[in-house]
Chains A and B, each alone.
Chain A
Amino acid sequence: MAHDASHADAADHGAEHAEEHHPQWSTYWKVALILSVITVVEVWIYYTPFRDSKLFVPALLTMSAAKFAIVVMFYMHLKYDHKLFRVLFTGPLLIAIGTLTGLMFLFGKFALHLGG
């Protein structure tokens, strides 16, 4: 995880100019609209028969992952900011998701069927 920070040195001089590429008001409103729409869809499908579908959980996970990513990229400016911040966040996030997944397997939350 840590070694990626070495790229940071290369980008030293880019840091000051990053500010100029920041998104402006219109982007923030659009992002808020998208987030609201996704949230509405999430809650809406909760009340439809789709709730009993096999695809319900994957659909919800995808939608919340999308919201998560959008907030991080646009509101937390990770899309525009210094690479180092991306590394500082995604490295731990991946380890966290890996730990969560590992624990879910270990406690039998995902049925793992090998060879039927």
Chain B
Amino acid sequence: MTTMAAPAPATLPTTGEYKTGIWSWLTTVDHKRIGILYLVTALFFFVWGGLEAAIIRAQLAGPNMGLVTAQQYNQLFTMHGTTMVFLVIMPLSSAFFNFLIPLQIGARDVAFPRLNAFSYWVFLAGGIVVTLPILFGMAPDGGWFGYAPLTTKAYSSGYNIDYWVLGLQILGVASLAAAFNFITTIINMRAPGMVLMRMPVFTWMSFVVQFLVILAFPVITAALVFLLFDRFFGTNFYTVAAGADPLLWQHLFWVFGHPEVYILILPAFGLVSEVLPTFSRKPLFGYPVIVYSGILIGALGFGVWAHHMFSVGMGPIADSVFSVTTMLIAIPTGVKILNWVSTMWGGQIRFTTSMMFAIALVAMFTVGGISGIMHSSAPADLQQTDSYFVVAHFHYVLVGGAVLGIMAGVYYYFPKLTGRMLDETLGKWHFWTFVIGTNLTFFPMHMSGLYGMPRRIYTYDAGQGWEMYNLLSSIGVIFQAIGMTIFFVNFIRSWKKGAIAGNNPWGAPTLEWAIPSPVPDYNFAHIPVVTSRYPLWDQKAGDLVKSEAETTTGGRLKTAAELGIPMPFPTILPLVAAVFMTAMLCGLLFIHAGNLPLALGIMITCGLGLAFTLIKWLTSPLE
């Protein structure tokens, strides 16, 4: 096993015809550019959702603070949750799916490039629909879980919840379209020799996640359709007076919601499974076990949903069954921790920023996992549910797990994305302030929770033993904010001015590091033949990629045309289709406003527009 860090070229590789204008971004079907769009959009929403959290923590820093009203507070915590789940962590993962999956399996693009662009634009449209109303004080205010009947018109008569229902429905379309695309890509577009058990773990975890998406999202789609019909057409799905069961929404939501948790965390698991071997200079310990445990987590993830509902009184049998399945699912998760630790064991560890984030994930996810196992016991959960203890748990899992894993991935893949390195010194500052801040914020929440502080209260009285813990949590946010500011400075500066990276700055083993950074639009000048799980460690470079003489001309990379590679045409149609679809659904809002003709007019016009766009799309050639 030899490592081969290619010498860094003096200049960034450029291809002849690479367009960079705004139109090129609106019409792009290149998976790498779509990945960048996802990344930048999600980072923007990260700031947005983070600011919402900062206001929440400012309000809770001391007892009886009056920074925001109870109504504003409801909107803030709802939007913080909705934003972070659907507009930050999922699209950050999507950024990596888009950018990495084709590169890791040795493909030139995804299976359906235009559908891929459509996914992004629909995501952006859905994000705008849920996010914008907060500027007008009309943001959704029913929690990220939107429990009906609370969210039905009888109890939430404003427009607030309408935006949430429509926005989530639109976001669901984006996720589903992307998932079918990636499933097909991974099944069908692997390079010769890239059998499933040689696929990089990130691709594997992404593969599992896409199945979770196609199986979990239809359930919330149905639940949202019921809520939408209740709100707009006067059906009775959640009308208790008509005999409706107040638990129907909860069950459907969590049938989706628990797999959703794995949709959020598995991509991060995949990323650290790439980072840890590279910086330990060792193959991943127990690769098949990591893969199978990932699949097992995905499958078991559909049998644990009611552990979110122990307190509703499902009865001893249901409580026991869901307790047991939840405890079971901890096993494949714990196995992964063991694998990662064993990968580092005896390795030549290099403490790059990326590696430090990955190690921090292993530690902090373990903390979150342990408090998770505590919830799996129904009697214990009855004490913890709806308290800050639960808030501590899922923030350790989602920030300590998903966000740290994604950060490890950002530092690791930034060179491949841009051709330049992120600054390591700033990176270390980012790491320490952010990780200290995260622990300072969320660890005291275990305590405030055990002292009985409930979730979702906008203020509290002094003298209940909560003051110190809340103050600590709020101070922690300052550290997190400093950390993220350092990150953004680093990110923006390094994009243009960072050190030139070269093909493989880390001496990494997987296929994406064999090609130039940034990656040319056609990815691989010729499709590599893979004979190993770690091709760059085990195979000769000449077997994988063409020589420089064959792929460059006059000091620059050859274009796709010069290499004779057909490329898909850029097209505006996915964007147009996304706009029509979103506008069509938003026409429903005018039913709420009592203007049925206008609603029908908008929906029919946009429906026709969508139909014509799709026909145009259908009949125009891809490449």
Binding site for B on A (CB under 8 A): 1-3, 5-6, 8-9, 84, 91-92, 95-96, 98-99, 102-103, 105-107, 112, 114
Contact = CB atoms under 8 A, between A and B. Distances in A.
A9 B188 CA distance: 10
B450 interface: no
23 contacts: A1-B211, A2-B207, A2-B208, A2-B295, A3-B291, A3-B292, A3-B295, A5-B187, A5-B196, A6-B195, A8-B196, A91-B211, A92-B211, A92-B214, A96-B215, A98-B303, A99-B302, A105-B318, A106-B306, A107-B245, A107-B251, A112-B317, A114-B317
Q: Identify whether the interface residues of B are mostly helix, strand, loop, or mixed.
A: helix
Contacts of A112: 317
Interface in B97-141: none
Interface size class of B (residues with CB under 8 A): 20 to 34
B291 A92 contact: no
Contacts of B247: 107
A80 B82 CA distance: 45
B197 interface: yes
Q: Which 9 A-B pairs have the closest CB atoms?
A: A6-B196, A3-B295, A9-B195, A95-B302, A2-B211, A2-B207, A2-B295, A2-B208, A92-B215
A91 B212 CA distance: 11
Contacts of A107: 245, 247, 251
Contacts of B187: 5, 8, 84
Contact of A106 (B195, B211, B291, B318): B318
Interface string B203-232: 000011001001100010000000000000
Contacts of A106: 251, 306, 314, 318
Nearest to B197: A6
Contacts of B35: none
B299 A1 contact: yes
A84 B190 CA distance: 15
Given A98-B302, A106-B318, 6 more contacts: A2-B208, A5-B196, A84-B187, A96-B215, A107-B245, A112-B317
A112 B318 CA distance: 11
Contacts of A96: 215
Contacts of A84: 187
A40 B195 CA distance: 48
A98 B207 CA distance: 22
Contacts of A99: 219, 255, 302
A84 B188 CA distance: 11
A114 B303 CA distance: 21
Contacts of A8: 187, 196
A107 B243 CA distance: 13
A9 B303 contact: no
Contacts of B255: 99, 103
B267 interface: no
B298 interface: yes
Contacts of B245: 107
A9 B196 contact: yes
Interface in B300-327: 302-303, 306, 314, 317-318
Contacts of A91: 211
A9 B199 CA distance: 13
Interface string B281-305: 0000000000110010011001100
A6 B211 CA distance: 15
Given A8-B187, A95-B302, A107-B245, A3 B214 contact: no
